[in-house]
Amino acid sequence: MKINKYQEYFIECSLTAPLRLAESGNGYHMPSLQPPPMPSIAPPLMLSLPQHHTILKRILTKQSNRVFKHIRHFGDAPQLHHTSFGRDMCQLIMTNQNHPMLNGSYPYVYVNPLTRAFSDLAKQYQLSNISPFSPQFEVAVDRSCSHLKVSSKTRHYLSQSKLWESSFDRVRIKYNHAITQILKESGSFELYSVVLKCYLSQSTLSTYSKEYLLFDHNLEKIIKTIKSDASQNNVLSVFSKWEAATSNSVDLRLIFVVKKEYSDPSPLEQSELYVSLQPFIDPTGIIQTNWSKLPEFLGMPEYDCNEFNFGKRLEILESYLVGTDFYCRIVDEKPSFEVQFLLNSD
């Protein structure tokens, strides 16, 4: 998937916004989108997941795995420096150790097959335990990258990758169709959000799937209520998105796209949607259900096709809802985003 720097930033925001709010995410800091510093002795920067994946794609087509070069300044002895590839490898290794989606902090997160393959090889060759300026580092990097190139051509890997990308394409098509239908119905809408939280048992984590945790009873009743009251609550669509919350809990976020007839501010508590869904709000139940604010980087919940940055805001919304599914998914390998309801759809 080709993305620009703008989308890359908001995809990383989308992946990690819940983590930065959770107590287990206090140590997480957003990766920089700036290029790495030129001096090879500078500490490597942590990458975002899109940056991490981009470098791995380059490795697959790279002919040389040379990590070191000697630079001689006038009057000085030759000095050992990392090549650009060597710096990339240092950043990949650091990101594997520190990014919460890659270092095992969230065991229910499934990453892109290419990212997963490299992470497994980095552990196998113990890249993080070797000094980045030792001769053994270049040998280990060469072996791991060669192994990655061979592994990426196996039937198992190609099958996994094809399934991952085709499911992502299907979800993106669904989302684009939903947005097109929404804009046909109204050029102005606002977003409201309800979060269903579930706590996971570490002992049975490997047996979970989205079907197991789908909160069928809660979700079906909410969607049924939305459909029956559609003429009153003005709901155009309902999106769902699985999100990482803490190391032992996941959130199913429901996003309600509500038609906005007037540009005046309208408090949630005065809306028909609030009245319809309030009976389902239960912050103390087994499945905790609460009204929730959307991530701050989305801006105001109101969207109007006449605002000057409407296109950019839709781009950010797509990065948040759909773009993350290319890089990682929650609970199992099925996409984390789904269109639960779309007005006037077949």
- Total residue count of the chain as it appears in this document: 346
Does pLDDT of 75 surpass 70? no
Predicted pLDDT of residue 34: 46
Does pLDDT of 25 surpass 50? no
Question: Across residues 241-262, what is the average pLDDT?
Answer: 90
Question: Across residues 50-73, what is the average pLDDT?
Answer: 85
Indicate the average pLDDT of the chain.
84
Q: What is the pLDDT of residues 197-234, one digit of tens each?
A: 888 776 555 566 666 655 666 788 899 999 888 778 89
How far is 104 from 98, CA to CA, in rounded Å? 10
Angle between helices 135-151 and 113-124 (to 10 degrees): 140
Share of the chain above pLDDT 70, in %: 82
How far is 330 from 109, CA to CA, in rounded Å? 5
* 77-91, 118-132, 148-162: segment of lowest average pLDDT: 77-91
**264: which residues sit within 8 A by CB, 6+ positions away?**
none
Give the three-state DSSP class for 234.
coil
Predicted pLDDT of residue 26: 45
* 10-19, 80-89, 225-234, 255-264: segment of lowest average pLDDT: 10-19
**For 207, which DSSP code?**
G
- Boundaries of every domain in the chain: 31-153, 170-342
Q: Pick the more confident residue, 17 or 231.
A: 231
Strand-pairing partners, residue 330, are 109
Does pLDDT of 251 surpass 70? yes
Phi, psi of 283 (to 5 degrees): -75, -5
Question: Across residues 327-338, what is the average pLDDT?
Answer: 93
* 154-158, 269-273, 323-327: segment of lowest average pLDDT: 269-273
Check if the beta carbon of residue 259 is closer than 8 Å to that of residue 189.
yes
**147: which residues sit within 8 A by CB, 6+ positions away?**
121, 124, 125
Question: Across residues 247-267, what is the average pLDDT?
Answer: 87
* 75-89, 142-156, 270-284, 306-320: segment of lowest average pLDDT: 75-89
Name the band, by pLDDT with cuts 50, 70 and 90, for residue 49: very high
**For 38, which DSSP code?**
S
- The most distant pair of C-alpha atoms in the chain lies apart, rounded to whole Å, by 82
Give the three-state DSSP class for 340.
strand
Strand 109-111 versus strand 249-259 pairing type: unpaired
Does pLDDT of 77 surpass 70? no
Predicted pLDDT of residue 38: 39
Greatest mean pLDDT among 20-24, 28-32, 99-103, 262-266: 99-103
Does pLDDT of 85 surpass 70? yes
What's this model's pTM, rounded to 2 decimal places?
0.86
The residue among 199, 287, 278, 208 whose CA lies nearest residue 22 is: 199
How far is 178 from 282, CA to CA, in rounded Å? 29
Strand-pairing partners, residue 256, are 192, 238
Share of the chain above pLDDT 90, in %: 49
Name the band, by pLDDT with cuts 50, 70 and 90, for residue 282: confident
Name the band, by pLDDT with cuts 50, 70 and 90, for residue 18: low
Phi and psi based region of residue 279 (left: phi greater than 0; alpha: psi -120 to 50; beta: remaining) = alpha
Check if the beta carbon of residue 194 is closer than 8 Å to that of residue 289.
yes
**Runs of H (alpha helix) within the chain:** 5-21, 49-61, 84-98, 113-124, 135-151, 155-185, 216-228, 230-233, 272-277, 310-321
Q: Pick the more confident residue, 59 or 68.
A: 59
Strand 235-246 versus strand 249-259 pairing type: antiparallel
Question: Across residues 20-35, what is the average pLDDT?
Answer: 48
Q: What is the pLDDT of residues 148-185, one digit of tens each?
A: 999 999 999 999 999 999 999 999 999 999 999 999 99
Does pLDDT of 6 surpass 70? no
Question: Across residues 116-122, what is the average pLDDT?
Answer: 96
The residue among 54, 86, 56 whose CA lies nearest residue 69 is: 86
Name the band, by pLDDT with cuts 50, 70 and 90, for residue 143: very high
